[in-house]
Structure 1
Amino acid sequence: MQPDRHARTMLPIPDRPAPGLTTYDAKDPQTSYPPIEVLLPPDGAPNVLVVLLDDVGFGASSAFGGPCRTPNFEKLAAGGLKYNRFHTTALCAPTRQAMLTGRNHHSVGMGSITETATSAPGNSSLRPNTKAPLAMTLKLNGYSTAQFGKCHEVPVWQTSPVGPFDAWPSAGGGFETFYGFIGGENNQYDPALYDGTTPVEPPKTPAEGYHLTEDLADHAIGWIRMQKALAPEKPFFVYFAPGATHAPHQVPKEWPDRYAGEFADGWDAQREKTFARQKELGVVPADAELTPRHVEIPAWDDMPDELRPVLEREMEVYAGFLEHTDHHVGRVLEAIDELGILEDTLIYVIIGDNGASAEGTVNGAFNEMANFNGMAALETPEFMRSKLDELGSESSYNHYAVGWAWAMDTPFQWTKQVASHWGGTRNGTIVHWPNGITERGGLRTQFTHCIDVAPTILEVAGLPEPTMVNGVQQSPMEGTSMRYSFNEPDAPERHDLQYFEMFGNRGIYHRGWSAVTKHRTPWEMVGGTLAAFDDDVWELYDGAAGDFSQARDLSREQPERLHELQRLWLIEAVKYQVLPIDDRTADRLNADIAGRPTLVHGTSQQFFPGMGRLSENSVVNIKNKSWSVTAEVHIPEGGANGVLIAQGGRFGGWSLYLHEGRATFLYNVLGIHTFATRADEPVAAGSHQVRMEFSYDGGGLAKGGGVALYVDGDPVGSGRVEATQAMVFSADETTDIGYESGTTVSADYTAATSRFTGRIEWVQIDLGDDDHDHFIDPDERMRIAMARQ
């Protein structure tokens, strides 16, 4: 093997032309230059595929004893290794940024989600340029790089069409190709997609069988095939991050139907079944204990009889969703195998970026936006039963109940967001690399963490950590390569110290011991007073003595060891920018107080035709107040139709459009109630101003109001909206000018027929001075922000 001649610690690798004879005439026989070489990694660098699923608990996948059948994960594990002590951060964006950089989440500014960023370094959502992402390092060393799926690492004020795009995958993230979505969740049937930084529409409609996970797999397979066809000598790095299985739990009906009746015993019984299977598989030790249910989680037997069929179906849909995801990940794996490169591809399948999500309320939801708007009472047991057959379909935006999340985290305590306990942070992980791992079907029990993935990949590729990237000196990675454990099952663990923290839930792991304290419960974020940090109750667990699941609290028996670990947590917190601990609610959602930039200022905002994909935080907030929208338009002879401006979609929003030539304003409340006001006559040909004025009733939140339509100042129609949405229209739908993307607010048009057939000069929203937002409880704002990620 030839020694590597490149100075790879400085990226981009400096061009260093060799001195030599320069001739005057190119025809001179002595004219000689070395051939131009394609930059490649060192010899032996494998292809790399990292698969990261969303919101899947340790006890969900059948590969780790769960009830959701994942045959492709099982097959992959049979040819590689399972890691049963792999950890994440308890929340999606922090896990992703940590994994992609090899640094702790606070070190890269992602102490929580982007929507709650502050100006504190550990919570800014800004990755320092001293911590370049893995994809950038690999690209600058000759890898082909591509990401497909979810990216929730872009600061919220940088998600609009004007960027800046430094934090987007294909701009500053190091991925040459990106196809996916920006944000915490997306509609699986009508996603807001980007190709690079350009908005694109899905290639098919839901009626034609579209589903996001399948689309992402199609693009990943196509890209891998093309890369190997055109540049077979270059290894690839593919990051495949489907939105599955984050809510909404949407999947074609045939997948949930496979689980009909399998969850009739409820979540308490499911925990027992899963725990027994986990022991049979050996993914938990024979002496592990099943942790009990906390009082905050309702017992299955205490749930209303009339709701149980709905609760069962919620879990059937989720199980089908995860199996469907396994199927399409399997297609990507099969494509790699068919190319003959599976043996030399390092594959990580990380089954979840945190524990299972308990953000669906104790009853679950048909449209989680109802709960986010304080209108969960609309989803009565009777309503839920009427919608049972629609769960998982394109007409639903559903989530399962807290009890199912707890069951999917078997055998551990708690769920997603609870960084203190393994239920929030331990995720089953599979590593497969036949050319580098001799054992097939092995189990590895060393403590590992998502920050270990990047240094592992660099070691396997024979690449050093860069000391300089794009002229900026780099800080060291904070993870530990897992390569040492690949062929040494009993090797002592090297990652033996790790802190955890999320919104005050915190813990420390050190050489088998863990000290933890839960500061808040994810689904109880409204009302009540949180304990002072110094008053939080800490627990102590001895994993080295066989307490795999944190079942035996030793804090009273060994207070000195607990205090030692508490001090160690504080030292690590200082080292990695965790301090100040931040459990605030309203202050973190107010950009001015939090100290992060915002795109929206003032009480008026003007838009122009063609603008679109504007997230809610890119548009002035019209909720709980009077407001108006005015459009300057030109109507051709024969009239015009189509959208002037629309915000939201099928599950909540509003639209001002022309239908049969008549100005129409429609307000859609959660997809349950619609209120339409139409003009008496079509808008005549020529230039006009079409205006809608909404007069809010006042007296609190989510009230109704009067609607008045005008053309050139003349009244042309009036109506009424009986109720409005107080907090949010959508997690993924946007505001569009001159058309509507995604699902549509109104059934009068489709996305394909929504384009305005006249000409729009401009559209302007103006807010009234009767703002009732002060009625919104600060804790409620925080709960909604957390549940949408």
Structure 2
Amino acid sequence: MTRLTNTLNLNFLGAVILLCAPIAAVAQDDPPNFLLIMVDDLGWTDIGAYGGEIDTPALDALADKAVLFTDFHASVACSPTRSMLLTGTDNHIAGMGNMGELLAPNQIGKPGYEGHLNNRVVTLAEVLRDNGYHTYMAGKWHLGHEPDHYPYNRGFEKTFSMLYGGASHFDDMTGVRELESPAAYTLNGERLWELPPTFYSSRSYADFLMDAIRSNRGNGKPLLGYFALTAPHDPLHVPEPWKSKYQSAYDEGYEVLRQRRVEAAKDIGLVPSNAPVSEMQPQVKPRDTLSKEEQAVEVRGMEVYAGMVDNLDYHIGRVLDFLDDIGELDNTVIFFLSDDGSNGCVANFCLDQS
């Protein structure tokens, strides 16, 4: 964690938020729907229900009627967590002992380090599809780049996916790594080479998921929806009005905000009142040692990051409202979690408002 994320989040790497909203009582012959909402690099104090100051009304409303996990842990990295979620196995069994792009020389070619979901496991989507479910996926995959490893070939019948670990949230398809640019997207198993000019990740993935559900509406089959938002992973991109909403909200700096979040987490009982506060990460410089220009960059990064979280909450709210409108919300088990702890990017590296 670095200045930007260490101050907007209290979590240590690997600790994430998890909400589980149970369904209302239903008849045994009415199987439930499942909605898995996975966000990317969100810290657990980023949302209001866990003491954050960012506006997250949709998630806060979900939390009011959900089970809130306060000692839930994921892997320290994106794809290992995703492999465990989708297979129910240890990430080494699934082939994701490490992220594929970060395999060490002594890991390459070894069992458990294939860098994609291997054939020793089946996915939740495959199991549910074979038992009468519709299976839909929208968002970040990060579990294999070759056609055989696309989500469309691992149990999801309708998919709009970004295959890599991170990319621009707009239509330019710029990857976060030079070797992964342009970023790889697929639509129902076919590679996409351009995105519509109106593309913004959180909005477009929500639109696709709702359209997919709508396409099979009324045929009596339950559904699995995997809504894998790429926000708020870097780069920091968000459209208006969220881009400007938090202007000047963080002018006091990250140390002040960090203390406020500690106090808020203690006030609502997420952290014991006598718990010591961990030291700032060693790579985080005290704010008073930064130049005015460096301070301004950090503040702007925090503002845009907050806007991204606010925006993803808005689009999650759209999906929940849609399920309510079509009469499926009360028969849907909803899980909300982050794939790992908050992102370790530095603001002046991640900040690209585009």
Both structures adopt the same fold (TM-score exceeding 0.5)? yes
Equivalenced residues, count: 312
Report the secondary structure of 2:348's partner residue. coil
Q: 1:281/1:104 Cα in 2 relative to 1: closer, same or farther (>3 Å)?
A: same
Counting only pairs closer than 5 Å after superposition, residues 378-397 of structure 1 correspond to structure 2 as 392-394=352-354
Distance (Å, rounded) in 2 between the aligned partners of 1:225 and 1:238: 12
The yes-or-no answer on 1:199 pairing with 2:185 is no
Superimposed CA distance per residue, residues 9-32 of structure 1 (whole angstroms, 9 cap, x where no aligned partner): xxxxxxxxxxxxxxxxxxxxxxxx
Report the secondary structure of 1:110's partner residue. coil
Superimposed CA distance per residue, residues 189-236 of structure 1 (whole angstroms, 9 cap, x where no aligned partner): 11353212213366641xxx531211111111111222223x1x2110
Instruction: Note the residue ranges of structure 2 that are not aligned, 5 or more in a row.
Output: 1-27, 174-183
Distance (Å, rounded) in 1 between the aligned partners of 2:320 and 2:158: 19
Distance (Å, rounded) in 2 between the aligned partners of 1:284 and 1:344: 33
Report the secondary structure of 2:162's partner residue. strand
Distance (Å, rounded) in 2 between the aligned partners of 1:332 and 1:203: 22
Counterpart for residue 86 of structure 1: 72
Distance (Å, rounded) in 2 between the aligned partners of 1:263 and 1:112: 35
Distance (Å, rounded) in 1 between the aligned partners of 2:189 and 2:212: 17
Please tell me the residue identity of whatever aligns with 1:116. L
Counterpart for residue 215 of structure 2: 226
Report the secondary structure of 2:215's partner residue. helix
Report the secondary structure of 2:53's partner residue. coil
Please tell me the residue identity of whatever aligns with 1:109. G
Report the secondary structure of 2:138's partner residue. strand
Distance (Å, rounded) in 1 between the aligned partners of 2:240 and 2:299: 15
Deviation at 1:267, TM superposition (A): 1.5
Distance (Å, rounded) in 2 between the aligned partners of 1:309 and 1:252: 20
Decide whether the 8 Å contact of 2:237 with 2:353 is kept in 1. Answer: yes
Deviation at 1:285, TM superposition (A): 3.2
Distance (Å, rounded) in 1 between the aligned partners of 2:212 and 2:194: 17
Decide whether the 8 Å contact of 2:234 with 2:345 is kept in 1. Answer: no
Pick aligned residue for 2:331 from 328, 333, 344: 344
Deviation at 1:176, TM superposition (A): 0.8
Report 1 or 2 for greater relative contact order, CA contacts < 8 Å, sequence distance ≥ 6: 2
Counterpart for residue 106 of structure 1: 92
Pick aligned residue for 1:271 from 250, 253, 258: 258
Decide whether the 8 Å contact of 2:47 with 2:60 is kept in 1. Answer: no
Counting only pairs closer than 5 Å after superposition, residues 156-555 of structure 1 correspond to structure 2 as 159=145, 163=146, 165-171=147-153, 173-190=154-171, 191=173, 192-200=184-192, 204-205=196-197, 209-229=198-218, 231=219, 233-350=220-337, 352-360=338-346, 364-365=347-348, 392-394=352-354
Deviation at 1:63, TM superposition (A): 2.2
Give the structure with the higher percent strand.
1
Deviation at 1:45, TM superposition (A): 2.0
Decide whether the 8 Å contact of 1:147 with 1:179 is kept in 2. Answer: yes
Distance (Å, rounded) in 1 between the aligned partners of 2:196 and 2:304: 23
Decide whether the 8 Å contact of 1:253 with 1:393 is kept in 2. Answer: no
The yes-or-no answer on 1:122 pairing with 2:112 is yes
Deviation at 1:81, TM superposition (A): 1.7
Distance (Å, rounded) in 2 between the aligned partners of 1:107 and 1:147: 23
Decide whether the 8 Å contact of 1:253 with 1:392 is kept in 2. Answer: no
Report the secondary structure of 1:121's partner residue. coil
Deviation at 1:75, TM superposition (A): 0.6
Deviation at 1:125, TM superposition (A): 1.8
Deviation at 1:334, TM superposition (A): 0.6
Distance (Å, rounded) in 2 between the aligned partners of 1:280 and 1:300: 26
Please tell me the residue identity of whatever aligns with 2:348. A
Please tell me the residue identity of whatever aligns with 1:199. R
Distance (Å, rounded) in 2 between the aligned partners of 1:44 and 1:279: 41
Decide whether the 8 Å contact of 2:298 with 2:348 is kept in 1. Answer: no
Distance (Å, rounded) in 1 between the aligned partners of 2:121 and 2:266: 40
Structure 1 length-normalised TM? 0.38
Counterpart for residue 483 of structure 1: none
Give the structure with the higher percent helix.
2
Moved more, 267-276 or 319-328: 267-276
Pair member with larger Rg: 1
Deviation at 1:89, TM superposition (A): 0.2
Please tell me the residue identity of whatever aligns with 1:290. V
Deviation at 1:275, TM superposition (A): 1.2
Decide whether the 8 Å contact of 1:108 with 1:125 is kept in 2. Answer: no
RMSD: 1.8
Superimposed CA distance per residue, residues 107-142 of structure 1 (whole angstroms, 9 cap, x where no aligned partner): 212111111341121322243423211110111111
Report the secondary structure of 2:224's partner residue. strand
Pick aligned residue for 2:136 from 127, 137, 146: 146
Structure 2 length-normalised TM? 0.83
Distance (Å, rounded) in 2 between the aligned partners of 1:199 and 1:123: 25
Q: 1:126/1:183 Cα in 2 relative to 1: closer, same or farther (>3 Å)?
A: closer
Decide whether the 8 Å contact of 2:33 with 2:331 is kept in 1. Answer: yes
Decide whether the 8 Å contact of 1:251 with 1:392 is kept in 2. Answer: no
Distance (Å, rounded) in 1 between the aligned partners of 2:276 and 2:217: 48
Report the secondary structure of 2:34's partner residue. strand
Please tell me the residue identity of whatever aligns with 1:114. G
Please tell me the residue identity of whatever aligns with 1:337. D
Distance (Å, rounded) in 1 between the aligned partners of 2:70 and 2:300: 29
